[in-house]
Structure 1
């Protein structure tokens, strides 16, 4: 089907998913680009609709998927450049986008596996959250817990920044003041970072079940979360930089955890 008008009701519905309130209301979200859409299909995500630029044609990388999915749940549509632009928050419209059903990930996913979970407390930058999800995926972490006050997981910029890792591990959105005590009751160590910490991150035993707590870009961990923290560590730095970006710091800590656990 060719959809040419940006005033089409379906197009208005897709474009509305650029706003969080409409994503929350509908239970749907958008992804853009060939790579993300391939990852979504390969991961069994709930792809409802794929829309591609009629002038450019269906990207070659998706042709086999379209053929195999024909008659299945996903609907495939051609659209004008105006439609593609209306449904994107980027300066250059993508060649293809898709509408997906939000995954329903329950909190029990946090307690499965080897006990390495990344907990984000009030992170607001989409790029930071997306990068941390990629790093958690890269080291084989069990899950990511996104606390209240953080940027929406399905914000288009977060989704793009994950580069598909969004589909590879459980990501739970929840209240940290409720979930962190549950972790403590199960013997899981809740570890944060602090410039005043006495212990190096390289001296901490990451082989034990650990939830890594990372705080807001400007203010760090909230007072309520700090009260629930068992231990704090510091990343030693020899240069003159005061601190690392939260996504970089999280990546350093996760790879140290992976080094201890696997090497």
Structure 2
């Protein structure tokens, strides 16, 4: 790496700082095709993934984190990506301005939104998570991590979902957004195509007569999960081929959408792999 040790940005009025800070707003992310990632782990994952990392900004008082100086910790491709990026020192005030946090991270980076085609959605024996109106960043991030953990083929974010590149959502994915395709799309268009290709559309319902353990997850399946308060929208619910219920013999009546999605995905993994 060749950090630009001569370049130190200390003022939050600097034009580059204003540009970076603007990426905290969705309209500027959409316009530029870029977003901000914060912290050592996310920067590591971005570098290793091959995504375009244009600039890496680090706290001048703390210096470059050791994890990002060592080639063995980044792998050869990650280390090459780190060398190709522009490195800039910044004051603590600049770090706080660009990350919108009271306790700024030691490092952040500006990266380009990954481009994914839709081929991953229709792979043979596909397992895809489809979110309909899930608005909580923590829930979406956790669901992306669960999908990554079971090696699902993709995640689809339908209309009404939180922006994937919202800083809170990005943080909550813990780097998993760099590991699998996450596609924002119109479910009214995508679901009929999936059905035409023989993919089963499965959701949850308290009125379902089949449990998630009796469903055959070995067949091509899209798992549809709805909003935290209302569940699946009516239009999406009408597209379902199958509704399942998660048995809950204890006292609780329902599960958080991220927890329920994890239960279903890991049952799918169990049937497919074990």
Match of 1:55 in 2: 61
Counterpart for residue 14 of structure 1: 20
The equivalent of 1:172 in structure 2 is: 183
1:210 partnered with 2:216: no
| Secondary structure of the structure 1 residue equivalent to 2:119 | helix
In the other structure, the counterpart of 2:120 is: 109
Deviation at 1:46, TM superposition (A): 1.2
Structure 1 residue 240: Cα displacement: 1.2
Aligned-partner SS, 2:266: helix
Partner of 2:102: 91
Superposition RMSD in Å: 1.5
Alpha-carbon distance between aligned partners in 2 of 1:246 and 1:165, rounded to the nearest angstrom: 18
Q: Which shifted more, 104-113 or 197-206?
A: 104-113
Match of 2:4 in 1: none
Tell whether 2:204 aligns with 1:193.
yes
Relative to structure 1, the CA distance from residue 68 to residue 186 in structure 2 (aligned partners, 3 Å threshold; closer, same or farther) is: closer
Cα deviations across residues 14-46 of structure 1 (Å, max 9, x unaligned)? 000001011001100000000010011111111
Give the distance between the partners of 1:58 and 1:234, measured in 2 at CA: 49
- Cα shift at 1:199: 0.5
Q: How far did 1:70 drift?
A: 8.0
Structure 2: tracts of 5 or more residues without a match: 1-6
Structure 1 residue 71, shift from structure 2 partner: 8.9
Contact 1:114–1:142 at 8 Å: present in 2 too? no
**Aligned position for 1:126:** 137
C-alpha separation in 2, matches of 1:77 and 1:104: 26
Q: Distance in 1 between matches of 2:264 and 2:82?
A: 45
- Which string of whole-angstrom CA distances, capped at 9 and with x for unpartnered residues, describes residues 65-106 of structure 1? 599448954111000011000011222000000000001112
Alignment TM-score, normalising by the size of structure 2: 0.93
Deviation for aligned residue 1:114: 3.3
Q: Deviations over 1:141-180 (max 9, x none)?
A: 0000010110001011111111110100010000001000
Counterpart in 1 of 2:40? 34
Corresponding pairs, count: 263
Paired position in structure 1 for 2:87:
76
Change (3 A) 1:113 1:53: farther
For structure 1, list consecutive stretches of 5 or more residues without a partner in the other structure.
Answer: none
Residue in 2 that maps onto 1:162: 173
- Contact 2:124–2:220 under 8 Å retained in 1: no
